Amino acid sequence: MGSLIELSAKVSHVLAARHFKLATVVSCLSVTLLRYLAGLLVFLLATTVVFAQHYEAGQIHILSPWARALPPTSPNGAAYLILINHGARPDKLLGASADVAEHVEVHSHILEDGMMKMRRVESVDLPPHKEVLFAPGGHHIMLIGLKQPLAAGDRFPLLLEFDQTDQALVEVVVQSTDAESARKTDHRHDHGSSTNQQDQHNQDGSSTVSHSGQIKRFELHIHQGKVMIDKKTIRVTQGDRVELHWFSAKPIELHLHGYDIHIEITSSSPAVMHFKAHASGRFPIESHGGSGHGSLIYLEVHPK
């Protein structure tokens, strides 16, 4: 009888041990499965976001609609995208509309009287088998009278109207162009009220990559006749491609000496100086009009 009890105890012990091991295996499999499912969910969400950025309206393909995140006080904003005409005949973008703004216009920078000026345009040509880029400093869709702030991560619908193609409804993703730059720079399409801390910029700028290569990009806000930037100097290296994005609450004309670049800025029309730093030296950027004539900052181009 004692042997039978002892044998029963051993069997129970073995079964308990096997049950424990089985439970452990099941637990490990559950954790692994959950991790796999979580990873799969993240992948699917990411894939959805990627595919959501490609739209088609007939032969017109619309890629990567986005808008820059702005401070809550900004009255205006802009949307950017890429339009590709895969058709055999030309088309045009005639206009756009969005619920986030009171009014929407198509704008472009146009060379006028020797200066780059931002102007509303009636349409943008879309030649056959060509890509047309809407980006800061060029074509863009101006959002005038924002009804809500454009915060990073937000999305809003934008309706595009074409000449030959049906309308297209796309989703615009609001994003910061550069995380580090967003912490240091006040991105905006107006200047409004600001503090010195908001206007302080890094004279070394930030780098972005375009189809034509790397670009050194600076955002410069004129406040009370001054540009809040360290040592009043922008430093680049000879051969760099440079973009100076200018914003001002008051109308002003700027002239980059040495490169002979003129631009005109208003509160609703920021402007861009884009050039290749071919000549080395120290060049003044002067203001004309407004409170007078004088050097705002200097461009230093260092030899390679």
Which tokens hold the place of 66?
């986005």
CATH superfamily name and code, 54-175: PCu(A)C copper chaperone (2.60.40.1890)
Task: Give the whole-angstrom CA distance, residue 250 versus residue 73.
Answer: 17
Same fold, 54-175 and 179-302: yes
Question: Which helix (H) or strand (E) segment is 160 a member of?
Answer: strand 155-162
From the CB of residue 243, how many other CB atoms can be counted at a distance below 10 Å? 18
Sign, CA dihedral 112-116-118-122, equals positive
- The CATH code that applies to domain 179-302 is 2.60.40.420
Q: What three-state secondary structure class fits 88? A: coil
In the chain, where the domains are located: 1-52, 54-175, 179-302
How many degrees, rounded to 5, is the angle at CA 141 between CA 46 and CA 108?
130
DSSP state of 33: H
Q: How high is the pLDDT of residue 259?
A: 86
Q: What is the per-residue pLDDT for 42?
A: 41
- Report field, pTM of the whole predicted structure over 0.85: no
Q: What is the mean pLDDT of each run of 10 residues along the chain (304 residues)?
A: 56 54 48 48 40 80 91 89 94 97 89 70 94 84 93 95 95 70 36 33 44 73 75 89 84 88 78 88 82 78 90
- Give the C-alpha distances (Å, rounded to integers) separating 90 from 41, 99, 128, 132, 210: 41, 29, 5, 12, 25
Quote the tokens at residue 152.
């990073």
